[in-house]
Amino acid sequence: MAAELTLHDVSLHFGGIKVLQEVGFTVEPGQIFGLVGPNGAGKTSLFNCISGHYRPSSGSIRIDDVEVTAKPAWRMSRLGLARTFQHAALQLDKTVLENVMLGAHPRLRGGPVEWSLRLPFTRNDERTLRAEALDLLERLDLGWAAHRTPDELSHGLHKGIELSRALLLRPRLLMLDEPAAGLPHSEVDRLIELIRGVRDDFDVTIVVVEHHMGLIAALTERVVVLDHGRKLMEGTAAEAQSDPRVIEAYIGKDAADDAA
């Protein structure tokens, strides 16, 4: 079941540097939600706070009714959160199938000792996950590449591999960090269809950080715009694109005045 994500007054400070200041919003279950803003706005830092890679200095982050603000990243995956990264971290000496299965450790019973001993329940879990990984690759039109290595494939297909790996965790909340980065324009429409299909087929809430405003406008139902670590506005992508504050944040006050 798709999760609800709620942030309340989330702040992040590194020494005297205020990276995020009292950011709050709610993402409804099953929504595709955009997080946008100019470079240095704090988008990735906020993503890292939500996913457990950073611990906020103050504020609250909840998945459904569970407070997750202080939980580490490995615990977040067990609570139904999965994320991708702007640069896919793939092991080029392993097959696509093996790369997808690398993301499934939180679903394996036992720990490193049991895994190394290859106990019967460990082998059963691996067989189940292998079948699920193959099915995911087929559903994302990557089944043909399962036994190839990533260095044989395009950058766009690397994105699909990482998405498959995230989905193998069976997330209720999926966070996509710049999924269109490095993709040619011809592949963006396909990516939009893919993300919509993932939301519908897997009953998952999706939060997207993206610079590609065409993708954000076509894909998301609501967006939050950040600027210098603060929430600048919240609304639809169309409202954000026409908001004078957002235009100023992206192109600067002087240019915004000239455009007006």
Kind of pairing between the strands at 66-67 and 222-227: unpaired
Q: What domains does the chain contain, in order, with CATH numbers?
A: 1-80+171-260 (3.40.50.300), 89-169 (no CATH)
Q: What is the pLDDT of residue 252?
A: 62
Which tokens go with 37?
């803003």
Q: What is the pLDDT of residue 260?
A: 43
Mean pLDDT of the 177-198 span: 87
Nearest alpha carbon to residue 60 among 21, 9, 22: 9
Nearest alpha carbon to residue 150 among 195, 205, 93, 108: 93
118-169 residue pLDDT tens:
666 677 778 888 899 999 999 999 999 999 999 999 888 888 999 999 999 8
Nearest alpha carbon to residue 101 among 72, 122, 79, 73: 122
Please state the three-class secondary structure of 193-234 as a single string.
HHHHHHHHHHCCEEEEECCCHHHHHHHCCEEEEEECCEEEEE
Band the pLDDT of 250: cuts 50, 70, 90: confident
Whether 226 has a pLDDT exceeding 90, the answer reads yes
259 vs 162: which has the higher pLDDT:
162
User: Residue 67 has what DSSP assignment?
Assistant: E
pTM of structure: 0.89
